[in-house]
Amino acid sequence: MKIILIFISPLAALIFSPLFSGIINKVKAFISGRKGQPLLQVYYNLFKLFKKGTIYSSTTSWIFRISPVLIFTFTLAATAFIPVLQIHTGALFKGDFILMLYLLGISRFFLIISAMDTGSAFEGMGASREAFFSALVEPVMFICLINIMKVAHTDSLAAALLDPMTSNSIAMFFSAIPLFILLLVENARIPFDDPSTHLELTMIHEVMILDNSGPSLGMLEYAASIKLWLFSLILALLVIPELPFGLLIKTIVLGLIMIIIAIIVGIIESIMARSQLFRIPQIIFGAGVISFLGFFIITTDILVW
Amino acid sequence: MKKIITTIHNNEPIPLNKIPVLNPGEFTEELGALLSSKYHLSAYFADLQNELLYAVCSDAEKGLLYVLAGKVDSGQFISLTPRFPQTQLFEREIFEETGFTPVGHPWLKPVRFPPNSKYKIGEPPFFKMEGDEIHEVAVGPVHAGVIEPGHFRFQCHGEKVYHLEISLGYQHRGIEKKIVSGSNKKNLYLIETAAGDTTIGHTTAYTQILEYLTNNKVSISDNIVRSVALELERCANHVGDIGALAGDAGFLPTHAFCGRIRGDFLNMTALLCGNRFGRGLIVPGGIGYQISDSIIEELSAKIKKGLKEFLDASKLMFDNPSIVARFQSIGELNLENSIDLGIVGPAARAAGITRDIRQDFAYGNYRFSSIPVSGHIRGNVYERAYVRWLEVQVSVKYILDQLNKLNNSDKTSEKSDNKESRPKKNSLIVSLVEGWRGQICHTAITDNEGNFRKYKIYDPSFYNWFGLAQALRNQQISDFPLCNKSFNLSYCGHDL
């Protein structure tokens, strides 16, 4: 039984993550007065890409070819630790969050070296930006997750997210806000990066996949939307209150929260300009300060909620 | 004392023999004196036939043009670039066209690459910076966005740009040479496409040259229509670029709205002549189409609506702190640099140069109805956008006033009789027009028959490209698209 449970979260991510990106696109189009692409356009794009052939630049090596597969697999594997049905994940163990974060970390590592492998000046620039910002993001991410687990008195992220304690504790506030900022940073959203730009010189994530085509581009885009889904899911599970209902209603409520998160991301993308690159570390530091404050309050029991 | 500087007005033909020819030393000295008085170098070219250099400096305060002619000493002349940076591109152009070498030019290579040139396009020399952590980013000539080709090289340390070298010439079509050899009828089509988004501006300058050479007067109402078309062109481009700036900063609502409103303004030009860019509207001697009262009425209604929608869309952007912060912090081109580099148009006015051809060298309808000059002081991306935002409003008001005037005037009685007098022989004429990007300068020399012997086109992009390179110094490389869009220079207008 447990073995089957492991596959539920990745399966949900595979099915629903493109829809999540689609909602964001629709919100953005709506606010700027456009009709916008169909809600399911992300699925169509992926389907189209997987049907195509792939072209590899002659300057690239096997690293470039294997990376999309690894990135996709590791990102998908990371979703297994998040209890999407709000029941046991089947992969709940002590320190599961470390494995989850470093599955994401290793997929990033391959993204960066595959970008460097192309030898393009643009991709090198994007890789260096990604490496720099992710180095800043990682400690903040850890503190946020530790805050949650500290409140739930557990050392497993999945268990903490299942614990209703987290949603009405101080930890929720001090983790949800930085987690939301990290969601935007990690998934290359405005104000940190612009997923819809065509300007190579300003890109972070998009520029690293410039040389990919066909199925390998499809896998990278799929991985990107799974990652966005993963971050939103953690956030949604963190804020979902304790509900005295059955599995179905709880899942529907979780879905609604996910939609609200997508709408908020869409609104932020519509009403904000992209900030200058050197401002990004400042905002990440800001998120770090909030999460650290939370850590301080929780560990010292200053406030009893 | 012998008078060595010839003074003319905008559009005033002058016989070549009235321009005294100076010795090389004298010429350099006099041109240097004019440039150190902060006059703008508007044209500087060589006439291969009599081996002379001609320079035209414009004095915006007095509204005068100073013309100098100088001999070339055995294929060489002294470069003024080390002292006056604004001469650099002119000297490179002279070198490209005639092979005359500007002695002492610090970075001598041709501007464009005609087929028989010994320099090849896209090949070194390029500026190089050396060091362990220096990296070079080469962009183009093919770009990700659907734009014209041009090659950009950034010398960077991390995100910081130390120098940007812009290498153009991919759009070179040899327009100036074709105009010299071609018939007038074909020429009009060439001029209309010299820079496609400045069709009205360039055709105005070209037809003015023809008209003043043949003493062919344009009727008042035709002049009014020309000025309306020029302002419509300005509005369409300013609106489109303000939207594009918002898009490059990732601010979608203004981007989407302005893209549509730009189309509305283009359609207003189409209302006058059936073409969104105004092709066929301006012809030598007047305008190509009759403008009926119903068109005037429709245009007035549309432009009022267009302005209102534009103001709503741009308010979203200018009221948004994240946009203002983004725009204000980058791409500064200050007053001193703008003067030194000879920057023109909204880019110059945003830096505090109050120079507008429509006012300082009034031509056509602007002699009778003046238009206010918009400006700012620091010259960053925000202020360049802001000046253009102001200009849209001023232009719309001007158009409405002029349409009103046109409605009340009698359009049929004053059609000029168009007597075909022969063009003035052996003359030089300079025509300045304020296009939406800035000063457009056309210069022509006629031969014994009155045909063009030399025709020079200076699109505002020619003056301003180096301004973009300067504005990007010590900026972040990721700020380049915004800086670039705030100038929005033409590739084909530069390459010709």
The pLDDT of residue A136: 93
Q: What is the DSSP string of B31-65?
A: HHHHHHTT-EEEEEEEETTTTEEEEEEEETTTTEE
Supply the mean pLDDT for chain A. Answer: 90
A302 pLDDT more than 60: yes
Instruction: Out of A28, A122, A277, name the one closest to residue B252 (CB).
Output: A28
Instruction: Out of B135, B159, B252, name the one closest to residue A32 (CB).
Output: B252
Query: 3-class SS at B437?
Result: coil
The two tokens of residue A21 are: 């990106």
The pLDDT of residue A192: 87
Predicted complex ipTM: 0.84
The pLDDT of residue B457: 93
Instruction: Out of A28, A201, A275, name the one closest to residue B481 (CB).
Output: A201
Q: What is the pLDDT of residues B437-479, one digit of tens each?
A: 999 999 999 988 888 889 999 999 999 999 999 999 999 988 8
Instruction: List CB contacts (< 8 A) between B256 and chain A.
Output: 32-34
User: Which of A130, A201, A204 to substitute to test the interface with B, most B CBs within 10 Å?
Assistant: A201
User: Which of B126, B157, B319, B478 to substitute to test the interface with A, most A CBs within 10 Å?
Assistant: B478
Q: Rounded to two decimals, what is the model's pTM?
A: 0.90
Instruction: List CB contacts (< 8 A) between B139 and chain A.
Output: 200-201
Kindly state the DSSP code that residue B166 receives in the 8-state scheme: E
The pLDDT of residue B143: 81
A167 pLDDT more than 80: no
Tell if the CB–CB gap between A198 and B139 is shorter than 8 Å: no
Instruction: List CB contacts (< 8 A) between A34 and chain B.
Output: 256
For residues B187-196, b (16+ Cβ closer than 10 Å) or e, as one string?
Answer: bbebbbebbe
* Angle B435-B439-B443 from CA coordinates, rounded to 5°: 110
B263 touches chain A (CB under 8 A): no
The torsion angle over the Cα atoms of residues A221, A222, A223 and A226, rounded to 10 degrees, is 120
Query: Phi/psi class of residue B376: alpha, beta or left (left: φ > 0; alpha: ψ in -120 to 50)?
Result: beta
| pLDDT-flagged residues of chain B (< 50) | 1, 413
B182 touches chain A (CB under 8 A): no
Name all domains of chain B by residue range, CATH numbers in brackets.
Answer: 6-103 (3.30.460.80), 175-464+478-487 (1.10.645.10)
The pLDDT of residue B75: 87
**Quick one: closest CA in A to B153, which residue?**
A121
The pLDDT of residue A165: 77
Tell if the CB–CB gap between B138 and A121 is shorter than 8 Å: yes
Tell if the CB–CB gap between B476 and A125 is shorter than 8 Å: no
Q: How far is B138 from chain A (nearest CA, A)?
A: 7
Instruction: Out of B139, B253, B325, name the one closest to residue A33 (CB).
Output: B253
**How many angstroms separate the Cα of B4 from the Cα of each of A213, B68, B397?**
66, 8, 43
- Side chain identity, residue B82: P
Three-state secondary structure readout of A71-89: HHHHHHHHHHHCCCCCCCC
The pLDDT of residue B418: 55
Can you give the length of chain B in residues?
A: 496
Instruction: List CB contacts (< 8 A) between B255 and chain A.
Output: 32
The pLDDT of residue B436: 93
Kindly state the DSSP code that residue A166 receives in the 8-state scheme: G
The dihedrals phi and psi of B104, each to the nearest 5 degrees, come to 95, 5
The two tokens of residue B369 are: 């109805």
The pLDDT of residue B400: 92
Q: Which of A137, A127, A133, A130 is nearest to A63 (CA)?
A: A127
The pLDDT of residue B410: 61
The pLDDT of residue B121: 86
Q: Which of A213, A95, A72 is nearest to A159 (CA)?
A: A95
User: Which of A276, A280, A283 to substitute to test the interface with B, most B CBs within 10 Å?
Assistant: A276
Query: 3-class SS at A151?
Result: helix
Q: What is the DSSP string of B315-370?
A: HHHHT-HHHHHHHHTS----HHHHHHHT--HHHHHHTT----HHHHT--GGGGTS-
The pLDDT of residue B413: 44
Look-up: residue for tokens 């390459």? B495
The pLDDT of residue B226: 92
Query: 3-class SS at A208?
Result: helix
Q: How far is B371 from chain A (nearest CA, A)?
A: 34
Instruction: Out of B252, B477, B480, name the one closest to residue A270 (CB).
Output: B252
The pLDDT of residue A60: 92
The pLDDT of residue A243: 81
Supply the mean pLDDT for chain B. Answer: 89
Q: Which of residues 367-396 of B touch A (CB under 8 A)?
A: none
Q: What is the pLDDT of residues B190-233, one digit of tens each?
A: 999 998 899 999 999 999 998 998 888 888 888 999 999 999 99
B478 touches chain A (CB under 8 A): yes
Tell if the CB–CB gap between A276 and B323 is shorter than 8 Å: no
For residues A25-40, b (16+ Cβ closer than 10 Å) or e, as one string?
Answer: bbbbbebbebebeeee
Instruction: List CB contacts (< 8 A) between B145 and chain A.
Output: 198-199
Which among A94-98, A168-172, B184-188 has the top mean pLDDT?
Answer: A94-98
Instruction: Out of B158, B253, B476, name the one closest to residue A32 (CB).
Output: B253
Tell if the CB–CB gap between A200 and B323 is shorter than 8 Å: no
Top pLDDT among A88 and B234 is at B234
The torsion angle over the Cα atoms of residues A168, A171, A174 and A178, rounded to 10 degrees, is -100
Tell if the CB–CB gap between B249 and A274 is shorter than 8 Å: yes
Q: Write out the residues of chain A at the interface with chain B, using a CB-CB cutoff of 8 A.
A: 28, 31-34, 121-122, 124-125, 128, 190-191, 194, 196-202, 269-278
Query: Phi/psi class of residue A256: alpha, beta or left (left: φ > 0; alpha: ψ in -120 to 50)?
Result: alpha
Per-residue pLDDT averaged across A250-265, rounded?
94
Tell if the CB–CB gap between A201 and B478 is shorter than 8 Å: yes
Instruction: List CB contacts (< 8 A) between B479 and chain A.
Output: 276
The pLDDT of residue B1: 41
List chain A domain ranges. Answer: 2-300
Instruction: List CB contacts (< 8 A) between A273 and chain B.
Output: 246, 249-251, 320, 322-323, 325-326
